[in-house]
């Protein structure tokens, strides 16, 4: 399929490539590093080869979220967003941007998101899970009440919020002796699915019903487990603030992408649980191969109607990419 839109596609700055997890996971680290730092040539070649017309780029994890010092987090977010804006300005027909945000300071995050959307033309935000605030390892999750004004701003701006994975802070006990389950093999999904459930359970979407949160990797496992969560909560609710079932929020306030989850059975299950209108094609470049993502998706045994929706038109609607009144128009060839 030509004309696909992808939206979990990453770039890096030199100073955000310090996490040893990356080198542990990618033996060909020099090539991975080169691809993360490249914002045009290699990226466009991969897109052209595999029918990807438009990519929404975001800073790789954990980046800003790992900086407990608020001033440093603010400075890095602003610099990363300015670098990305400059790259997008060279090819606005092929690239869009997600804002990196200093969630260590909710007011600063509001200011930076507003700047990125209104002044730089970014299409939303990508935040790498919880932020470490004050001291290393002091995790603050996004259901904390301090973020309510931030969420109000996201709803007011009408842009999606991508909740991207990161490793949990304390991995010594459960992953000890099993380092292969850290990162994207398991820890990312386990951490991010619980973070998403916390947002649902907090009543956030009752307060701000127009919010749209995006999850990668076919929903971080939630489409497969959400029924059991609701089933058990209904037996022992224990004063949960949410007014509705978790599955309701998953279907109405979340989108999920195919990033790094190129499995037809899983895709079909997700389509049955959340509907094809809420699924978006993505690669997770450069951590995943565009050829693997595109070849699988282009040949998956789903209807062509669903393929076009998931591959392109759902993203066009969510991010307002098409139409005569919009600033961007996605090429379809």
Please name the residues in contact with 30: beta carbons below 8 A apart, sequence gap of 6 or more. none
284, 289, 295, 298: the catalytic one is 284
Read off the pLDDT of residues 27-57 as tens digits, 9 standing for 90 and up. Answer: 787 888 999 999 999 999 999 999 999 999 9
Evaluate if residue 330 carries a pLDDT over 60: no
pLDDT of 116-125, one tens digit each? 999 999 999 9
Task: Give the tens place of pLDDT for each residue, 269-327.
Answer: 999 999 999 999 999 999 999 999 999 999 999 999 999 999 999 999 999 997 533 44
pLDDT attached to residue 21: 60
Mention the CATH class of domain 4-318: alpha beta
Q: List pLDDT tens digits, range 140-196.
A: 999 999 999 999 999 999 999 999 999 888 766 888 899 889 889 999 999 999 999
Q: State the average pLDDT over residues 205-220.
A: 98
Q: Is the pLDDT of residue 329 over 50?
A: no
pLDDT at residue 218 is higher than 60:
yes
- pLDDT of amino acid 173: 83
CB 123 within 8 A of CB 319: yes
Instruction: For the full predicted model, state whether its pTM sits above 0.85.
Output: yes
From the list 263, 274, 283, 168, the residue with the least C-alpha distance to 213 is 274
Which whole number is the average pLDDT over 135-144?
Answer: 94
Cis preceding-peptide flag for 72 (omega within 30 of 0): no
Q: Across the chain, what does the average pLDDT equal?
A: 93
Angle at 107 between CA 106 and CA 110, to 5 degrees: 90
Instruction: Give the per-residue pLDDT at 324.
Output: 38
What's the rounded Cα separation, in Å, for the pair 14 and 34? 10
289 is catalytic: no
HEC assignment per residue over the chain? CCCEEEEEEEECCHHHCCCHHHHHHCCCHHHHHHHHHCCCHHHHHHHHHCCEEEEEEEECCCHHHHCCCHHHHHHHHHHHHHHHHHHHHHCCCCEEEEECCCCCCHHHHHHHHHHHHHCCCCCEEEECCCEECCCCCCEECCCCHHHHHHHHHHHHHCCCEEECCCCCCCCCCCCCCCHHHCHHHCHHHHHHHHHHHHHHHCCHHHHCCCCCEEECHHHHCHHHHHHHHHHHHHHCCCCCCCCCCHHHHHHHHEEEECCCCCCHHHHHHHHHHHCHHHEECCCCCCCCCHHHHHHHHHHCCCCHHHHHHHHHHHHHHHCCCCCCCCCCCCCCC
* pLDDT of residue 17 exceeding 80: yes
pLDDT(128) > 90 = yes
- Which H, E and C letters describe 112-159, residue by residue? HHHHHHHCCCCCEEEECCCEECCCCCCEECCCCHHHHHHHHHHHHHCC
Domain boundaries, the chain: 4-318
């Amino acid at each position: 399929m030509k004309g696909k839109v992808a939206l979990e596609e990453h770039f890096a700055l030199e100073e955000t490539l310090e996490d040893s997890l990356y080198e542990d996971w990618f033996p060909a680290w020099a090539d991975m590093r080169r691809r993360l730092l490249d914002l045009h040539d290699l990226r466009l070649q991969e897109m052209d080869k595999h029918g990807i017309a438009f990519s929404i780029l975001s800073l790789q994890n954990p980046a800003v979220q790992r900086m407990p010092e608020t001033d440093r987090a603010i400075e890095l977010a602003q610099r990363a967003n300015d670098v990305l804006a400059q790259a997008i300005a060279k090819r606005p027909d092929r690239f869009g941007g997600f804002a990196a945000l200093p969630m260590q300071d909710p007011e600063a995050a509001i200011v930076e998101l507003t700047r990125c959307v209104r002044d730089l033309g970014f299409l939303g935000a990508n935040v790498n899970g919880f932020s470490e605030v004050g001291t290393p390892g002091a995790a603050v999750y996004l259901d904390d009440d301090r973020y309510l004004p931030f969420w109000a701003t996201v709803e007011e701006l009408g842009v999606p919020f991508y909740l991207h994975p990161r490793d949990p802070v304390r991995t010594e006990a459960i992953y000890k002796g099993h380092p292969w389950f850290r990162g994207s093999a398991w820890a990312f999904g386990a951490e991010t699915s619980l973070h998403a459930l916390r947002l649902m359970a907090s009543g956030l979407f009752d307060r701000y019903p127009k919010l749209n949160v995006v999850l990668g990797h076919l929903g971080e496992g939630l489409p497969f487990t959400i029924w059991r969560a609701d089933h058990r909560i209904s037996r022992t609710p224990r004063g949960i603030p949410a007014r509705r079932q978790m599955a309701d929020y998953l279907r109405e306030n979340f989108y999920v992408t195919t990033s790094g989850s190129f499995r037809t059975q899983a895709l079909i299950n997700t389509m049955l649980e959340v509907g094809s209108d809420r699924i978006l094609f993505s690669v997770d470049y450069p951590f995943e191969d565009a050829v693997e993502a595109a070849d699988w998706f282009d040949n998956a045994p789903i209807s062509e109607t669903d393929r076009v929706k998931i591959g392109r038109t759902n993203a066009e609607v969510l991010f307002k990419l098409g139409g005569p009144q919009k600033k961007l128009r996605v090429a379809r060839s």
